[in-house]
A and B are shown apart, each in its own frame.
Chain A
Amino acid sequence: MFRGERLVFRDVGFAVPAGGALLLRGPNGAGKSSLLRAVAGLTPLAAGRLLWNGEDALDDLPTHAKRISWLGHLDAVKLALCVGEHVAEAAALAAMGLESFRDLPAKLLSAGQKRRLALARVIASKAPLWLLDEPTNGLDTRSIAMLGAVFAGHLQAGGMIIASTHTPLDLPEARTLNL
């Protein structure tokens, strides 16, 4: 896979079963985010295939997009909108401890709270595959513990998680892919 002219990585193979999780590890610039973007279909693969239930997933990008919930390294929070306008579902907000901020404009949130809001949007999406780029960035230990419970619930329901991280994540069953 290339970013611009640069070869980021090659010969990467992995499989994630339903209810399984995969952690991407590696030094800065190893291509963790690039791999996530490729799995999301945002960046094309130079060679190789991405299969979903045995079929090429990248053939039909809009359909593939519906299977995915994306958390990039940016939070995609609009400062002019309030919390409830980003995520309407109360259960998702509660899972990230944001239920009392529903009517607060997003510009009043701290960096960690914005990250939690972005995570709440992932929870509310109901997509089976979560692609998370450094999900714990800026979170305090309490929020990371909440996130662990959310992850466990998602995997138990048959969902899948691929996350890049350099901090320990509470995903006991997860396999690790070193880039």
Chain B
Amino acid sequence: MRRLLGRELRLAWRHASDTAAALLFFVIAATLFPFALGPDARTLSAIAPGVVWVCALLAALLPLDRLFGADFEDGTLDLLLLSGLSAGGVVSMKTLAHWLTTGLPLLLIAAPLAVMLRMPAEAVPMLLLTLLPGTMLLSLLGTMAGAITLGARRSAVLMPLITLPLMIPVLIFGCAAVTSTHPQAPLLMLAAMLVLALPLAPLAGGAALRAAAE
């Protein structure tokens, strides 16, 4: 399993431009808002948590299409399924690789972006705290959707249509935790959703992967 993960990370490193594309998309999309709405600090700080969350969501979708697509096309998927890991294990490994190469960098770059959007500095740690389970959930659900849409003719279009509705509750509680004066309840909801998705998403993804490999 560790060997597979190492290989994934090495491939992500070799294709660094793909990995960087998601980050740059995140930065540019979030930067568009001050241009559109004007530099007024009050407006910007009010929308900052939502903008950062939505842009992170969209940016994390970008690499999902190739996550299994490349392996499907060159025959590596069969080898992954025959590696001795369960199909769910393969999906978990891909999820972890996606989070390490996309979720975690997005999380790190979210702090300076939030400050740029005039978010009060004391609210930034809470934003990052909500994005931590948020990006993990996105990796889990996104990888699952990637496995489900594998082999579909317009998988790049289908994938956001599956992932984004599932992410709506996460978005609601994530943004609520940042803006609310009592962030504990939405944070616990996020944690609960993470605990729910952690076993279920790889399981569903694994079943989809087996079906795609047939």
Contacts and interface: CB of A to CB of B under 8 A. Distances in A.
A3 B89 CA distance: 26
B74 A62 contact: no
A68 interface: yes
Q: What size tier do the contact residues of chain A reach?
A: 20 to 34
Interface stretch (B22-30, B80-88, B165-173, B174-182): B80-88
Contacts, number: 55
How many of chain B's residues touch chain A, expressed as a range?
Answer: 20 to 34
Given A42-B81, A70-B82, A76 B14 contact: no
Contacts of B42: none
A66 B84 contact: yes
Specify the main secondary structure of chain B where it touches its partner: helix
Nearest to A78: B11
Given A78-B74, A81-B14, 18 more contacts: A37-B214, A42-B214, A43-B213, A43-B214, A44-B214, A62-B85, A62-B89, A65-B81, A65-B84, A68-B82, A70-B79, A70-B82, A72-B75, A74-B73, A74-B74, A76-B79, A78-B76, A80-B15
Interface of B: 7, 10-11, 14-15, 73-76, 78-79, 81-86, 89, 213-214
Interface of A: 3, 37, 40-44, 61-63, 65-66, 68, 70, 72-78, 80-81, 85
